[in-house]
Amino acid sequence: MNNFNGIYNFVSGPLVWLAFIIFIGGSIYRIRNLIVLVNKKERYIYTYMSLKYSLRSIMHWIIPFATVNWRKRPLMTITTFIFHAGLVIMPFFVSAHVVMFHNAWGFSWPSLPESFTDTVTLLVIICSIIFLIRRLVLREVKFLTDASDFGVLLITAAPFITGFLAYHNVGSYHFWVILHILSGEIMLVAIPFTKLSHMLYAVFTRAYIGSEFGKVRHARDW
Amino acid sequence: MALPYIEYEKNIIDQGLETGTERLTKERIAKVVDKVIGGETGARLKAYVDTCVHCGLCSDACHMYLSTKRDPKLTPSAKVKRTMSVILAKKGNVSPAFIKKASEIASTECNLCKRCVQYCPFGIDIAYVMSVVRRICHLCGVTPLYIQDTAHSHSVTQNQMWVKEDEWIDTLQWQEEDSREEIPDCRIPLDKEGADFMYSVIGPEPKFLAQLLYQTAIIFNAAGLNWTMPSFPGWDNSDMAMFTGDSEIMGRNKRFHYEAAQRLKVKKIVMGECGHAFRAAYDMGNRWVSWAMPPVPMVHAIEFYYDLLKSGKIKVKEKYKKSVTLHDPCNTIRGRGLHEKARYVINELCENFIEMHPNREHNYCCNAGGGVINCGPPFKKKRVSTNRIKAQQCADTGAEILITPCHNCHSGMEDIIGDYGVDMHVKFINDIMYEVMEKPGLE
């Protein structure tokens, strides 16, 4: 038990700080690099940028079924949106997270009912399995898939799998909680330095092509 | 009726690729990659390559993938994986044989039509990535023979088809003379300073499609327009150098084109029914020479025909009777949004217009554009085989006439409807307008 406490305190204390520092620092570094590169070599991009068309493009693509391709592949669309919403939004509203935040900082916000977050967690795990099956079964996706793509999928699914097991007390609660925290930290650290960086860059690529399509090409990009 | 799948030989020998590869060394490849990746490209390439998560959602965008029983090697992202991803991962340490294959993929397995951009959730511009691959292959000296020949022609003659200056002028005068048999005072005014607009065409028009010049003369004369064509280089708006990756020649072609208009002091340029020329003049060539947008106002034929009909300068005598369908060319539709204007024009000219599906910005590519048809006979079978979906789409309309307001599309569509046995004829808008309009000076 003492051993668990020691590890728990470490992963939920200093490691959290470290993970967030690397995540935030790394993200700023990656975005800064991109902008520096634009300024250095492709300044002309600004000539074609348009806030209106950037937003037009982004809005179409972040709304389920608002684009032709989202409508063409309903299963993939539903999977993608549940997965990403679960991944990005839900961690802020899991009651255990809110309680921990309150204990550490003395303030909190409303959390979602546990039965709801539990269901969403399960859905995210199911979505991860669908992604995995796509990579293994669909020929066009299999051809594109590298070993790192499985790694990235595992990194994102792990916090949900471990969280789910911990919440349901499968085996040792402490074991799963520690793994849960650790896997969350690994994911944060991985965001700026792996394919997960699409979280940082997607808004820029979308805004740029949205601007080109709106301002220059006068055509829809969805 | 489902059309058959046509098999094609996978090992295609192209003399340009063979000879270029024989001369190529690994040192030269490394130097070229360093120049292009280290020097010419920047944030866009980096963001695109780093952001792609290999989801495969771009697959359904590609006519080649859809036409080949879903060959996973032919999805847009797969083409990047087979070329640019390897070049980047190996930091340019690739073999001449690899560059040969990359050149074939970039030049004949991607039309740069950008349909996949509309299917990628991140808006990754795969056409741009493939253009960079072509650029690398060009600087390595490994490009398909036939298209390289057109680039050479641009370099030497400032037109695509080795048309000599006297031949150009002679062709225009010959067409003018012929047109005067129909309308006695018909003119093709050369070098008329201060005309309202300069009309520019692609090299193949004087070379083997001279009737288009004739018909255009009749249309412009009937509309009573104040127009001109240059007798000197700059008359050709086409740009195959853009598709070989020879950006320097591309930029020079655009200079000739726009400077011809400036020399003639015209108010604007009207270009014929060509798609890639429009892309070169509106999107790519102008940017290479640092013009954010065309330095002289420039409109495509579709837009110009729209204006002529809308303003009543051209009146329709009797609408075209046969059923027609429309192929939306990538460069003027996805590249300039002229789809509604094209429909207005066709509905004004024709009685029975049948849409093909999908259409407008989502139309399937012709598989000829992007320089693919210009890679010539060695790749013809492959080009036809990898566009069954387009032939199917056309056949499904049941229309008698296929209107394609783009030269590359036009030739490519003739090949596919021919080889798949679709009962259709391909026409330009120009052909139909000439046929159905009122000709006031007619005797």
In chain B, what residues touch A76 (CB-CB under 8 Å)?
57
- Supply the DSSP string of B189-244, one letter for each residue: -BS-TT-SEEEEB-THHHHH-HHHHHHHHHHHHHTT--EEB-SSTT-B---THHHH
- Output Rg (C-alpha) for chain A, integer angstroms: 20
Residue among B37, B33, B242, B56 at smallest CA distance from B155: B242
In chain A, what residues touch B124 (CB-CB under 8 Å)?
205, 209
Q: Do B92 and A183 form a contact (C-beta atoms < 8 A)?
A: no
Q: Tell me, what's the pLDDT at B278?
A: 98
Residue among A192, A149, A178 at smallest CA distance from A26: A192
CB distance A198–B362 less than 8 Å? no
Q: Which of residues 39-68 of B touch A (CB under 8 A)?
A: 41-44, 46-48, 50-57, 59-61, 65
Asked if residue B6 belongs to a domain, the reply is: no
Closest approach of chain A CAs to the CA of B39, in angstroms?
8
Same domain, B358 and B277: no
Q: Tell me, what's the pLDDT at A2?
A: 62
Q: How many angstroms separate the CA atoms of B279 and B297, rounded?
A: 14
Asked if residue B3 belongs to a domain, the reply is: no
| H/E run at residue B365 | none
Nearest to A221 among B54, B118, B293 (CB): B118
Asked if residue B214 belongs to a domain, the reply is: yes
Asked if residue B5 belongs to a domain, the reply is: no
CB distance B47–A204 less than 8 Å? yes
Same domain, B429 and B324: yes
Q: Do B266 and B197 form a contact (C-beta atoms < 8 A)?
A: yes
Question: What CATH number did the domain enclosing B367 receive?
Answer: 3.40.50
Q: Tell me, what's the pLDDT at A5?
A: 86
Region of B393 please: left (phi>0), alpha (psi -120 to 50) or beta.
alpha
Q: Which of B41, B51, B284 is best to mutate for the A interface (most A CBs within 10 A)?
A: B51
- Name the closest residue on chain B to residue A57, using Cα atoms: B123
pLDDT band at B1 (very low <50, low <70, confident <90, very high): confident
User: What are A71's two structure tokens?
Assistant: 């409508």
Residue among B196, B193, B200, B259 at smallest CA distance from B235: B200
Partners of B403 in the β-ladder: B326, B427
Q: How many angstroms separate the CA atoms of A75 and B214, rounded?
A: 54
CB distance B361–A57 less than 8 Å? no
Same domain, B159 and B95: no
Q: Tell me, what's the pLDDT at B360?
A: 96
In chain A, what residues touch B125 (CB-CB under 8 Å)?
209
In chain A, what residues touch B44 (CB-CB under 8 Å)?
42, 45, 208
Please tell me the total count of domains within chain B: 3
Q: Do B267 and B197 form a contact (C-beta atoms < 8 A)?
A: yes
Q: In chain A, which residues have pLDDT < 70? A: 1-2
Using the Cβ of B126 and the Cβ atoms of chain A, whether some distance falls under 8 Å is answered with no
Tell me the torsion sign for CA atoms A184, A186, A187, A191.
positive
Closest approach of chain A CAs to the CA of B361, in angstroms?
7
Work out the mean pLDDT of chain B and round it to a whole number. 97
> How is the beta sheet containing B227-228 ordered, strand by strand?
B227-228, B197-200, B268-271, B298-300
Q: Tell me, what's the pLDDT at B443?
A: 55
Residue among B296, B234, B249, B60 at smallest CA distance from B154: B249
Give me the residue label for tokens 């979906």.
B389
User: What are A30's two structure tokens?
Assistant: 């990656």
Residue B359, class by beta-carbon neighbours within 10 Å (0-12 exposed, 13-18 middle, 19+ buried)? Answer: middle
Give me the residue label for tokens 């048309």.
B163
Same domain, B67 and B192: no
In chain B, what residues touch A201 (CB-CB under 8 Å)?
47, 50-51, 122
Same domain, B43 and B180: no
Using the Cβ of B442 and the Cβ atoms of chain A, whether some distance falls under 8 Å is answered with no
Using the Cβ of A144 and the Cβ atoms of chain B, whether some distance falls under 8 Å is answered with yes
Instruction: Note the pLDDT tens digit of each residue in B70-108.
Output: 999 999 999 999 999 999 999 999 999 999 999 999 999
**Chain A / chain B CB contacts < 8 angstroms:** 131
Q: Which of A217, A218, A221, A222 is best to mutate for the B interface (most B CBs within 10 A)?
A: A217
Using the Cβ of A198 and the Cβ atoms of chain B, whether some distance falls under 8 Å is answered with yes
Q: How many angstroms separate the CA atoms of B131 and B108, rounded?
A: 12
User: What are B236's two structure tokens?
Assistant: 């050709």
Same domain, B27 and B101: yes
In chain B, what residues touch A142 (CB-CB under 8 Å)?
72
Q: How many angstroms separate the CA atoms of A148 and A145, rounded?
A: 8
Using the Cβ of A192 and the Cβ atoms of chain B, whether some distance falls under 8 Å is answered with no
Q: Looking at the predicted structure, is the pLDDT value of residue B179 above 70?
A: yes
Same domain, B53 and B85: yes
Nearest to A69 among B44, B57, B290 (CB): B57
Q: Which of residues 46-65 of A touch B (CB under 8 A)?
A: 47-48, 57, 61
Q: Tell me, what's the pLDDT at A4?
A: 79
- The crossing angle, in degrees rounded to 10, of helices A147-167 and A114-137 is 160
Give me the residue label for tokens 């798949």.
B420
Q: Looking at the predicted structure, is the pLDDT value of residue B304 above 80?
A: yes
Percentage of chain B beyond pLDDT 70 is 99
Q: How many angstroms separate the CA atoms of B254 and A170, rounded?
A: 69
| H/E run at residue B300 | strand B298-300
CB distance B73–A218 less than 8 Å? no
DSSP state of B437: B
Region of B37 please: left (phi>0), alpha (psi -120 to 50) or beta.
alpha
Nearest to B337 among A38, A141, A219 (CB): A219
C-alpha angle B211-B212-B215 in degrees, rounded to nearest 5 = 85
Nearest to A210 among B48, B81, B123 (CB): B123
CB distance B283–A216 less than 8 Å? yes
Asked if residue B424 belongs to a domain, the reply is: yes
Q: How many angstroms separate the CA atoms of B106 and B46, rounded?
A: 19
- Of B82, B114, B143, the last residue of a domain is B143
What ipTM was reported for this prediction?
0.95
Q: Which of residues 10-49 of A touch B (CB under 8 A)?
A: 34-35, 37-38, 40-42, 44-45, 47-48
Same domain, B418 and B355: yes
What number of other Cβ atoms are within 10 A of residue B251's Cβ?
A: 22
- Name the closest residue on chain A to residue B82, using Cα atoms: A144
Q: Tell me, what's the pLDDT at B442?
A: 67
Closest approach of chain A CAs to the CA of B47, in angstroms?
7
Same domain, B160 and B290: yes
Same domain, B343 and B207: no
Closest approach of chain A CAs to the CA of B441, in angstroms?
38
Instruction: Note the pLDDT tens digit of each residue in B107-164.
Output: 999 999 999 999 999 999 999 999 999 999 999 999 999 999 999 999 999 999 999 9
Domain that holds residue B178: 155-307
CB distance B47–A141 less than 8 Å? no
Kind of pairing between the strands at B350-354 and B401-403: unpaired
In our burial notation (b when 16+ CB lie closer than 10 A, e otherwise), range B314-351 reads beeeeebeebbbbbbbbbbbbbbbbbebbbbbbebbbe
CB distance A143–B44 less than 8 Å? no
Q: Which of A205, A208, A218, A221 is best to mutate for the B interface (most B CBs within 10 A)?
A: A205
Using the Cβ of B174 and the Cβ atoms of chain A, whether some distance falls under 8 Å is answered with no
- Name the closest residue on chain B to residue A35, using Cα atoms: B43
Task: Calculate the CA B234 to chain-centre distance.
Answer: 18
User: What are A19's two structure tokens?
Assistant: 């993970």
Q: Do B314 and B439 form a contact (C-beta atoms < 8 A)?
A: no
User: What are B164's two structure tokens?
Assistant: 């000599």
- Of B123, B143, B163, the last residue of a domain is B143
In chain A, what residues touch B51 (CB-CB under 8 Å)?
197-198, 201-202, 205
Q: Tell me, what's the pLDDT at A124?
A: 98
Q: Which of residues 184-213 of B touch A (CB under 8 A)?
A: none
Residue among A99, A18, A104, A140 at smallest CA distance from B75: A140
Q: Looking at the predicted structure, is the pLDDT value of residue B376 above 70?
A: yes
Asked if residue B1 belongs to a domain, the reply is: no
CB distance B46–A34 less than 8 Å? yes
Same domain, B185 and B128: no
Q: How many angstroms separate the CA atoms of B105 and A17, rounded?
A: 47
* Preceding amide of B76 cis, omega within 30: no
- Of B255, B287, B307, the last residue of a domain is B307
Same domain, B328 and B422: yes
Output A3-6 pairs: Cβ under 8 A, ≥24 positions apart: A4/A174, A4/A175, A4/A178
Q: How many angstroms separate the CA atoms of B110 and A81, rounded?
A: 30
Q: How many angstroms separate the CA atoms of B21 and B166, rounded?
A: 37
Give me the residue label for tokens 């056309």.
B394
Q: Looking at the predicted structure, is the pLDDT value of residue B203 above 70?
A: yes
